């Protein structure tokens, strides 16, 4: 079918705005809202017998996996290793039937991810695949297919596929935790209720377009931009920086907030915007003290937090972006929205080709 932009300027903008709907569709394939349980598609191996997980993917899909590693370890108490697909085969990875390889790919065709899948299967390891294209090679070759229902994604920089990957991975973490007995039925129900809230909160986050647009001009004049976050906000910082460099061509880097003082703080002066991703909660105070280190050196801070966080700490920042207050479990799904909108509007201010950034391909089928 012909896919159109409708009243949107770019496919990327359309796909950002579609997220509440496609995330709800994707969650609908895994959650039973009445029974408050999570169901997984059938597979021919014993998922409960797996003792460790290796996550392998490329680009934005890898960062979805990085967020998921926090969910899998905290809920299912299973060790997770995460790696660029392009590196997996080259360090003689320890594969075997005790481990699960979890690949994540919008297209299901990325050459490095597919090579990792085949390498693991050849070593007798089971593979689960989070894939958006149901007819793809990875979907066919995986032992357990975990589909995302994002619909066709046209913008080269991934947006809705990313949040649908997060939705599937969150549901998978809850299901695996139940299988392993690390959470009880009551906790499963609570997590299902939280996930069910995510699409409405993402919809509310779309209202951040106006304040983010107001920031785009000043940010578009920066040479370099840093993103920092702690816990799952660290991969969100990496995703913010990746999205920005992909479509605006501004050099950006994501750092674990605590790592700032081990190098990148040397770059900070009054010309350096620093995007601080710090929702209120147990990690807030630590990240805010890293933010204070930036401000003490004249760095221009954009703080992305919720009402409670901003009430405590917005003074002295260049801008404060208020995301809806949600349970920390679903925060990454909501945080993705302002992170994507920021990259999009800075790119618009720079006048780059948002849907077809130079030198990039939607699907990389060479290693």
Of 59 and 332, CB closest to ligand G6P: 59
Q: How far is the CB of 362 from ligand G6P (least distance, A)?
A: 6
What Å distances lie between residue 44 and 117, 136, 144, 302, CA to CA?
17, 20, 8, 48
Cα–chain-centroid distance for residue 187? 23
DSSP string, 60-90: HHHHHHHHHHHHHHHHH---EEEEEHHHHGG
Q: Which residues contact 327 (CB under 8 A, 6 or more apart)?
A: 194, 197
- Closer CB to ligand G6P, 19 or 287, in the complex: 19
- Residue whose CB is less far from ligand G6P, 105 or 340: 105
Least Å from the CB of residue 121 to ligand G6P:
17
- Closer CB to ligand G6P, 161 or 310, in the complex: 161
- Name the residue nearer to ligand G6P (CB basis): 109 or 143: 109
CA R_g for the chain:
20
Question: At its nearest, how many Å lie between ligand G6P and the CB of residue 154?
Answer: 11
User: What's the per-residue H, E or C state across 304-356?
Assistant: EECHHHHHHHCCCCCEEEECCCCCHHHHHHHHHHHHHHHHHHHHHHHCCCCCC
Q: Between vectors from CA 290 to CA 289 and to CA 296, what angle results, nearest 5°? A: 85
Output the CA–CA distances (angstroms, integers) from residue 261 to 31, 41, 267, 317, 357, in the order listed. 42, 45, 10, 19, 32
| Residue 74 contacts residue 232 (beta carbons within 8 Å) | no
Task: Specify the residue, 292 or 360, whose C-beta has the smaller distance to ligand G6P.
Answer: 360
Catalytic residue among 5, 286, 350, 362: 362
Residue nearest to ligand G6P (CB): 59
245 is catalytic: no
Measured between alpha carbons, how far is residue 157 from residues 60, 134, 347, 361 in Å? 8, 20, 12, 9
Name the residues that contact ligand G6P, by CB under 6 A: 58-61, 105-107, 110, 113, 156-158, 360, 362-364
Q: Please, what is the minimum distance in Å from the beta carbon of residue 210 to ligand G6P?
A: 26
CB of 296 to ligand G6P, least distance (A): 36
Q: What is the DSSP string of 262-301?
A: GTGGGG-STT-EEEEE--SSTTHHHHHHHHHHHHHTT-EE
Q: Are strands 52-57 and 99-105 parallel, antiparallel or unpaired?
A: parallel
Q: What secondary structure letter does DSSP report for 52?
A: E
Output the smallest distance, CB 63 to ligand G6P, in A. 8
- Name beta bridge partners: 147: 131
Active site (catalytic) residues: 362
């Amino acid at each position: 079918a012909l896919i159109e932009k409708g009243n949107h300027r770019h496919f990327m903008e359309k796909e950002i705005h579609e997220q509440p709907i496609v995330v709800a569709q994707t969650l609908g394939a895994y959650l039973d809202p009445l029974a408050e349980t999570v169901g997984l598609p059938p597979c021919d191996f014993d998922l409960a017998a797996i003792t460790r997980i290796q996550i392998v993917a490329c680009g934005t899909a890898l960062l979805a996996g990085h967020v998921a590693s926090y969910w899998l370890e905290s809920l299912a108490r299973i060790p997770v290793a995460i790696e660029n697909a392009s590196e997996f085969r080259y360090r003689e990875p320890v594969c075997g039937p005790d481990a699960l390889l979890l690949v994540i790919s919008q297209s299901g065709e990325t050459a490095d991810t597919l090579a990792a899948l085949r390498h693991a299967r050849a070593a007798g390891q089971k593979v689960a695949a989070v894939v958006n294209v149901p007819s793809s090679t990875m979907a066919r070759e995986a032992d357990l297919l975990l589909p995302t229902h994002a619909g066709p994604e046209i913008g080269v920089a991934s947006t809705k596929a990313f949040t649908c990957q997060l939705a599937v991975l969150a549901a998978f973490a809850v299901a695996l935790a139940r299988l392993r007995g690390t959470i009880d039925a009551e906790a499963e129900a609570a997590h299902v209720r939280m996930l069910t809230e995510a699409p409405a909160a993402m919809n509310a986050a779309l209202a951040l377009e106006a304040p983010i647009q107001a920031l785009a001009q000043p940010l578009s004049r920066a040479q370099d931009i840093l993103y920092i976050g702690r816990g799952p906000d660290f991969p969100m910082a990496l995703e913010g920086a990746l999205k920005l460099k992909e479509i605006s061509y501004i050099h950006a880097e994501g750092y674990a907030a605590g790592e700032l003082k081990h190098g990148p703080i040397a770059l900070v002066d009054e010309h350096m915007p620093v995007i601080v991703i710090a929702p209120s909660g147990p990690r807030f105070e630590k990240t805010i003290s890293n933010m204070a280190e930036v401000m003490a050196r004249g760095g221009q801070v954009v703080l992305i937090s919720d009402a409670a966080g901003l009430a405590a700490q917005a003074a002295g920042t260049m801008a404060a972006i208020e995301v809806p207050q949600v349970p920390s479990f679903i925060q990454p799904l909501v945080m993705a929205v302002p992170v994507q909108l920021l990259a999009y509007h800075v790119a618009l201010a720079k006048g780059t080709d948002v849907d077809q950034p130079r030198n990039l391909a939607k699907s990389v089928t060479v290693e």
